[in-house]
Structure 1
């Protein structure tokens, strides 16, 4: 679906090509994948990034109860924070696992470097420098793999523990909201590529932290940008089938 604002809070900054940044209110928050297509996935928190929640108060109660489908009012409320463009909008259930940089579960310390290594050469992958959530990992066709990440705008250690605990006892399936990017990268010396589906949390930090702490699934409404993803329209349109999400929308790049 086509949505967004001419004055969004979320943006993508290409001024320092090939580097690329996710911005909040014009301030770089994360360095994300380079535009070369062969350099590997990137997730690095910027020093000036602020802890900021981008929630929409008008639909907070609906999200706390949990969405059962794409809700037009919820979509509209968060579209006001997103750059104008085409989006693949999906509602999905996923199991978040909090990982720290350099840990055994850190993609950027394990699967990423392994994917860019061969018998003669090893191309360095930029290490992550902040905690994030691992979601699903799936095969895509005969060669590619999809890796999903939920990326917090607020350090999980700075969250209110009482609010996290309250969601542990909540009924239904409380829903988080994210701005999504599908970045597909692969080393030039092999056919395999890594599909990195990044969900940058706009709302639902405490919900996601609670789900991770309890090894429980979280429901996630995600707006995957067509114009800012490093993927083709056909690849974006395959996402609902690949991840078994309830989705809708058309992509025209």
Structure 2
């Protein structure tokens, strides 16, 4: 879909190359990649990053009840806050697991460094400096691996515990909303590449935290940007097949 606004709240800043930043109301929130394509996936929260959530009052009840398909009103509400461009819009069911920097579940401490490790070179990737959610991991073909993340705009530890608990007993499948980027990176000295699908949460922080705390699932409406992702159109179009294949295996 072609969506977005000429004056979005969410943006991508390439002005300080080789670094790339996700911005909120024009303020850098996260460093999310290097332009080289060989430096590894990046997730680093910027000092002074905004923590305000994006309002979705008009569609709050629909999101809390859970979407069963792509809802035009919900899409329009969030598209007004995104940069103008083409998007792969998907509705996914996934199980989040909270990962703290340096923990055993932290991609940027475990799988990332392993993928860029080489005995002949001193080569490392940037460590994460913020908590986030791991969603999915799977192989793609002979050489590539797919990693999926949900990134809150604030610290999950600062969420309202009562609201998180309330979602633990909610009926249906409450839906979170995210701005997505697919970044594909690989070290220059081998064929293997890591596909990193990042979902930056625009709404549904408490829902996601509740699902993670209870080892439950969350429904996620994500707008994956074609123009701002570091991936080709063909690679972006493969995402539904890759994710659906993983979900089918999980149902067996």
Deviation at 1:124, TM superposition (A): 1.2
Tell me the residue number matched to 2:250: none
Corresponding residue for 1:107? 107
- Structure 2 CA distance for aligned equivalents of residues 174 and 26 of structure 1: 30
Gaps of 5+ in 1: 246-253
Q: Match of 1:78? A: 78
Residues 1:154 and 2:149 aligned together: no
Give the 4+ runs in structure 1 shifted more than 2 A. none
TM-score by length of 2: 0.96
- In the alignment, is the contact (CA less than 8 A) between 1:13 and 1:21 conserved in 2? yes
Secondary structure of 1:164's partner?
helix
Mapped pair 1:27 → 2:27: yes
| TM-score, reference length from structure 1 | 0.96
SS at match of 2:86: strand
How many residue pairs get aligned? The number is: 245
The answer on whether the counterparts of 1:5 and 1:83 sit within 8 Å (CA) in structure 2 is yes
Question: Match for residue 124 of structure 2?
Answer: 124
The answer on 1:236 being equivalent to 2:236 is yes
- Take 1:11 and 1:107, find their aligned partners in 2: how far apart are those partners? 25
Give the Å deviation of 1:62. 0.3
Measured on the aligned residues, the alpha-carbon RMSD in Å equals: 0.8
Q: CA deviation at 1:55?
A: 3.2
Residues 98-156 of structure 1 deviation map (CA, whole Å, 9 limit, x = unaligned): 01000000000000000001231241110000000000001111110110000000210
Question: Which residue does 1:174 correspond to in 2?
Answer: 174
Q: Deviations over 1:169-216 (max 9, x none)?
A: 000000000000000000001000000000000000000000000000
Separation of aligned partners in 1, 2:182 and 2:122:
24
How many angstroms apart in 2 are the aligned matches of 1:129 and 1:73? 35
3-state DSSP of counterpart to 1:77: helix
Listed as ranges, the matches of 1:1-253 within 5 Å are 1-244=1-244
